[in-house]
Amino acid sequence: MLCQNIVKFQCLLIILNFVDISVAKFIRGKDGWSHEIDLEEENGLRIKWKNSPIDGNGERWLTMEVFAKTNGYIGLGFSPHGGMAGGDMVVGWVDSNGRPHLKDFYATANDVPILDNSQNYELLSAYEDEKGTRIQFQRKWDTCDENDMKIVTDTMRLIWAYSPFDPVERDNAVTNLQWHGSKSRGALSVFLLDDPFAAKFPDENDPHVKHWDMTMDDSLIEAEHTTYFCKIIKMPQLDKKHQMIGFKPILTPENKKNVHHITFYECYIPPEHGNTASVFEKHLNTTGGRCYTPNMPPEWTKHCVTFLFVWVAGSEGEMLPEHVGSALGEEHGGASYFMLETHYDNPELRTFRDNSGVRIYYTDKLRPNDGSVMLMGYRITPFLLLPPMQKNIVTYGICSAECTDMTIPEDGINVIISLVHAHLSGRKIRLRHFRNGKELPPIAEDNQYDFNYQQSRSIKNEIKILRGDELMVECEYETVDNNRIVLGGLSTKQEMCQTFFMYYPRINLMQCTSQYEFHDFFKGLNIDEVSGSVLNSIKMPYNPHLLPADEQAFDPPDNAKELEESGDGPLFKSMFDQLKIEAPNKWKGMTVGDYLKQANWTDAKFGKEVESKWRNGRHYAYCTGHGRQRIPLKNHIIPFPDIKEPLSKPVSNVCRIQSGANSTSNNNQERNIRFNDSILKAVSGSVKLGTTIFDTSIMALVVITWIV
């Protein structure tokens, strides 16, 4: 056996190759580790990590351990997009003489990595035997090295690789660093700084905890890129109040890649408008069907709207904090009937049957607070329009101060869990928070959003939203590689801009959203007037006071769902082809679709002008209670928030106090000497090592032989 240390490891990925996040099993850490990822079965790899408290110098450290089924090198690193370019990586191995090696690299392209002049990873331990190699190291969150990625709270991409071959280090050079092959590499997204779980999943032998499995019934999923499948479910008969305390997915193994998200909606009809049981009981005898089609019963869309929870690909589920639960049973302030909605993303266009679903944990050991889930953001509508070939374009969904003033109690509500959501073009999402014109710290934020990893985040220091607060979901998108316009919609090829959060106490507000005001939307495109019968389907221009009396009690569904349910799928996908321009005269008679296709989107200035006009334009405000009740607003058209005092983020002083590169280099050399001494003491009893002294000083040159 060889007991060795390798200080740094980061990955050698020449070809961008993602590990499907569904393969990675995220486990609650044990033995002092806060996080663990088990890739051993599929990829022969296991990764653990934890974060230290802030030390006396105001710094925090990330400690990691990696095990790989190899006796060659291991690489592990951080990447902005999951590939080599821009990556910060470390490579380590134990040679045939039992000597450990570890070097800090970075990459500027999908090419051979470059040795970093500043070696910022510290070896803690290493162990190699016939089963494989295990290495443990630590690094600062912020190394103040421009070639190292700063560890942040955003989604981060880990890249990894390993090889059966050892490189050779001699005379400040590394040779024989052979390509790892196509099967021993990958990338995955993680939250390095967050504990993704509020609490452990329960012991299912606990007499106070029951579970309820809700799955599809061997449902047939057709060969289409996007399918939404829905069914109505009734909760188990209970003799007293219970609360949901958590959930986790149940995924059919062969369909994991296709199940994008599962949403569990409460179905509720306010007593003054009917009876929930009389409407939904009859639907329990069906196995469900395609959502948002002409065949979907209209009451499903109209009244199944409050979220009990949302599961999205990449998440292992969620347990609520021990002081919060979600009430079950309409008589207890929750719901008795639910709609299970599963979104399938099927780019391979295969036909298959599915039994995926969720397991809900619930208890009669009541917690002091009933919580609920609220949605904020931009409504799902084609009026969320992303021009092609844009490096950055921003959309805003506003929750008006009037809505929170009418619905939130004087003591406020407490946010405990958040989840941001967009589709493939999404790059950054944040939920901004304003009070009397002053911007407060964001409630949720991810500046490295990954569509394939949408784990909710527990908020340890609960955030309070008060009556009269204004909130805004801000989504940044990139469409550089698109040669088509992206519209808001249900498909993964379309877009969304949303934030979900769990809060307590439960109030009668389940959505607080907005979308661009109709005329201001078209003015942003330099169009003054349009016409088309399709506008009747989506009630545009929107004025709730002009709706028929029997429709004024409820907010309309999102435009995208209304168009899908109108019975003509292409009508939704080409809504702007159904609208004719009436003014200005130079474009009169042209369809909006043709106008958008001929627009000069390659002119970045033009794209920014459109975005600026939308940003400074007005929004329709929607304030929606449970069961889609419309909460009447005096002002259903609102301006962009008046931000009198924007948030100024504090700048870390960690790097300011360092005296420069020479000081950093000297510190690194001193650390290496210190760790060399501790390593020798740790392995002094090893027959393989004897008293061999090894050098981990900073290398000035690296020569790499690479096989592509």
Is the sign of the CA dihedral 27, 32, 34, 36 positive or negative? negative
pLDDT tens digits along 13-38: 322 233 333 344 555 556 778 888 88
pLDDT tens digits along 234-254: 999 998 999 999 999 999 999
> Is 101 annotated in the active site?
no
Q: Closest Cα to residue 228, out of 140, 176, 304, 335?
A: 304
Among 182-186, 215-219, 656-660, the range scoring the smallest mean pLDDT is 656-660
In the predicted structure, residue 544 carries a pLDDT above the cut 80: yes
pLDDT at 204: 67
> Is 421 annotated in the active site?
yes
Among 44-58, 142-156, 532-546, the range scoring the smallest mean pLDDT is 44-58
SS3 track for 540-606: CCCCHHHCCHHHCCECCCCHHHHHHHCCCHHHHHCHHHHCEEEECHHHCCCEHHHHHHHCCCCCHHH
Domains observed in the chain: 2-195+659-682 (2.60.40.1210), 196-370 (2.60.120.310)
User: What tokens appear for 319 in the block?
Assistant: 């347990």
| Beta bridge partner(s), residue 344 | 227, 259
Evaluate whether 558 touches 624 at the Cβ level (below 8 Å): no
pLDDT tens digits along 197-206: 446 777 767 8
In the predicted structure, residue 631 carries a pLDDT above the cut 60: yes
Report, as an integer, the average pLDDT of 176-186: 75
Distance CA 367, CA 350 (A): 45
pLDDT tens digits along 569-607: 444 457 898 999 999 999 999 999 999 989 999 888 899
- Average pLDDT of every residue of the chain: 83
pLDDT at 654: 64
Evaluate whether 437 touches 643 at the Cβ level (below 8 Å): yes
Q: Closest Cα to residue 112, out of 14, 209, 45, 191?
A: 14
User: What tokens appear for 483 in the block?
Assistant: 């040669």
DSSP 3-state of 704:
coil
Q: Which of 421, 619, 626, 636 is catalytic?
A: 421
pLDDT band at 495 (very low <50, low <70, confident <90, very high): very high
* Type of residue at 235: M
In the predicted structure, residue 70 carries a pLDDT above the cut 60: yes
Among 127-131, 512-516, 669-673, the range scoring the smallest mean pLDDT is 669-673
Rounded to whole angstroms, the maximal C-alpha distance in the chain is 90
User: What tokens appear for 459 in the block?
Assistant: 């908020």
pLDDT at 98: 84
Report, as an integer, the average pLDDT of 414-431: 94
In the predicted structure, residue 127 carries a pLDDT above the cut 70: yes
Evaluate whether 490 touches 560 at the Cβ level (below 8 Å): yes
Evaluate whether 85 touches 108 at the Cβ level (below 8 Å): yes
pLDDT at 17: 31
In the predicted structure, residue 163 carries a pLDDT above the cut 80: yes
Report, as an integer, the average pLDDT of 458-486: 93
In the predicted structure, residue 659 carries a pLDDT above the cut 70: no
pLDDT band at 95 (very low <50, low <70, confident <90, very high): confident
User: What tokens appear for 589 in the block?
Assistant: 């008679």
Report, as an integer, the average pLDDT of 131-140: 90
pLDDT tens digits along 334-361: 999 999 999 999 999 999 999 999 999 9
In the predicted structure, residue 699 carries a pLDDT above the cut 70: no
pLDDT at 651: 67
pLDDT tens digits along 686-697: 323 222 223 333
In the predicted structure, residue 270 carries a pLDDT above the cut 70: yes
Helix (H) or strand (E) holding 302: helix 298-303
pLDDT at 656: 58
pLDDT at 42: 72
Evaluate whether 652 touches 152 at the Cβ level (below 8 Å): no
Q: Which of 228, 344, 378, 622 is catalytic?
A: 228
SS3 track for 353-392: EECCEEEEEEECCCCCEECEEEEEEECCCCCCEECCCCCC
Report, as an integer, the average pLDDT of 150-179: 82
pLDDT at 168: 81
In the predicted structure, residue 525 carries a pLDDT above the cut 80: yes
Phi-psi sector, 499: left (phi>0), alpha (psi -120 to 50), beta: beta
Evaluate whether 320 touches 198 at the Cβ level (below 8 Å): yes
Report, as an integer, the average pLDDT of 509-528: 97
In the predicted structure, residue 568 carries a pLDDT above the cut 90: no
In the predicted structure, residue 543 carries a pLDDT above the cut 60: yes
In the predicted structure, residue 41 carries a pLDDT above the cut 90: no
In the predicted structure, residue 93 carries a pLDDT above the cut 70: yes
Q: Closest Cα to residue 680, out of 688, 690, 671?
A: 690
DSSP 3-state of 677:
helix
Contacts of 498 by beta carbon, 8 Å cutoff, 6+ apart: 375, 376, 377, 378, 397, 420, 421, 422, 473
Distance CA 126, CA 135 (A): 4
pLDDT band at 232 (very low <50, low <70, confident <90, very high): very high
In the predicted structure, residue 521 carries a pLDDT above the cut 60: yes
Is the sign of the CA dihedral 596, 535, 394, 561 positive or negative? negative
Give the phi and the psi of residue 575 in degrees, each rounded to 5. Answer: -55, -40
Q: Closest Cα to residue 116, out of 144, 152, 95, 74?
A: 144
